[in-house]
Amino acid sequence: MDNLDLSVLRQVAAWLNQDRRVVLGTITRSWGSAPRPVGSLVAVCDDGQIAGSVSGGCIEDDLIAQVREGALNSLAMPHLLRYGVGAEEAKRFGLPCGGTLELLLEPLNPASQIEALLARLACGERVQRVLDRQTGAVQLLAPQAGADVLVLSEARLITQHGPQWRLLIIGAGQMTHYLAGMALGLDYQVLVCDPREEYAQGWALPGARLSREMPDDAVTAFAPDGHSAIVALTHDPKLDDLALLEALQSPAFYVGAIGSRVNQAKRKARLQEHFGLSEDQLARLHGPVGLNIGARTPPEIALAILAHMTAERYGVKLTSSASGVSGESGCVV
């Protein structure tokens, strides 16, 4: 779930606390190009106020018009709507010609569990919200492994909330503050590992938890999956190598380490000679980490790292080993 949808839920909670009637809309399907992805939220208050977005504005305008006409305020149970079936409607509702967007409208009440959902999201949890389409009742469950997609059936709507992506950073230095902060803004769940007392004492970033475990133990406890990234930033082989040893044997979609190409070559030789990692496993290591954007300062290097992680997430293969950042001089070497 992205920050826009989280802000929708917060606004919904505020309206409900004011005893307003609120209808929550969730994109359940789309055909053709869509302005917002499946799972995106929009909410309409009984006075016509709106939060969130599912189109270029025309669908939102239609929902406001339905409120003013009394249609939405009298909605008792979840109701499925489709917009843009034909070319004329597609143009009217701001969709590409022939495109279609399906929206489930849900009248909210105490059984909708919006406050409970927000409380669990504030703790950094991932939550599966199960809406009974016949009764409007909601269950909040722990998501099943790998369950990141919306599921719509005749009986239920199942949506996933909370961070879908996770980042483990080894080292709690200055650069980590920038990388962790930016990652939080991109809806990563962030864990920082640093057993060193002098670094751990200075760590204070709301939303990013600090672990004092040894890096290999932290990676094991992190249980990396295909939605996980691990980045080593300490420059200390005793710490970085331990983390990378475990990370490169995991399903993590991104494993990176700061350092020059010369130091990366030495690191790979150590991992192969002392720990027996294969060529294929070592080839997964992004180092120098990040994209070559001329980064020199810690925030610029953090941006380069997250840019590369984003490319990997979306299957855009860019080579960091020939164009990354060293983090030592701040320049590519």
Percentage of the chain beyond pLDDT 70 is 87
Q: Where are the domains of the chain?
A: 3-123, 165-313
Whether the upstream peptide bond of residue 96 has omega within 30° of 0, thus cis, is no
Question: Contact, 45 vs 15, CB < 8 A?
Answer: yes
Q: Which comes out higher in pLDDT, residue 100 or 199?
A: 199
DSSP 3-state of 93: coil
Provide the token pair at 332: 């590519």
Q: Which comes out higher in pLDDT, residue 313 or 170?
A: 170
Distance CA 285, CA 171 (A): 17
- Confidence category of residue 323, pLDDT binned at 50, 70, 90: very low
Question: Contact, 193 vs 213, CB < 8 A?
Answer: yes
Question: Contact, 306 vs 183, CB < 8 A?
Answer: yes
For residue 203, what is the enclosing H or E element? none
The pLDDT, as a whole number, for residue 99 is 61
Q: Please, what's the largest Cα pairwise distance for the chain?
A: 73
Q: Looking at residues 99-128, what average pLDDT do you find? A: 89
DSSP 3-state of 265: helix
The rounded mean pLDDT for the chain is: 86
* C-alpha radius of gyration, the chain, whole number: 23
Q: Looking at residues 21-30, what average pLDDT do you find? A: 93
Distance CA 322, CA 332 (A): 9
DSSP 3-state of 137: coil
- Confidence category of residue 245, pLDDT binned at 50, 70, 90: very high
Which conformational region is residue 48 in: left (phi greater than 0), alpha (psi within -120 to 50 degrees), or beta? Answer: left
Q: Looking at residues 69-89, what average pLDDT do you find? A: 79
Whose tokens are 């004329």? That residue is 88
Res. 95: pLDDT tops 70: no
Domain 165-313 fold is: Rossmann fold (3.40.50)
The pLDDT, as a whole number, for residue 331 is 35
Q: Which comes out higher in pLDDT, residue 85 or 104?
A: 104
Identify the bridge partners of residue 139 per DSSP, sorted by sequence position: 130
Distance CA 71, CA 82 (A): 16
The model scores a pTM over 0.75:
no
Q: Looking at residues 245-264, what average pLDDT do you find? A: 94
Spell out the residues 6+ positions from residue 304 whose beta carbon is closer than 8 angstroms to its own. 289, 290, 291, 292, 293, 295, 324, 325
Q: Looking at residues 148-175, what average pLDDT do you find? A: 90
The pLDDT, as a whole number, for residue 324 is 47
Res. 146: pLDDT tops 80: no
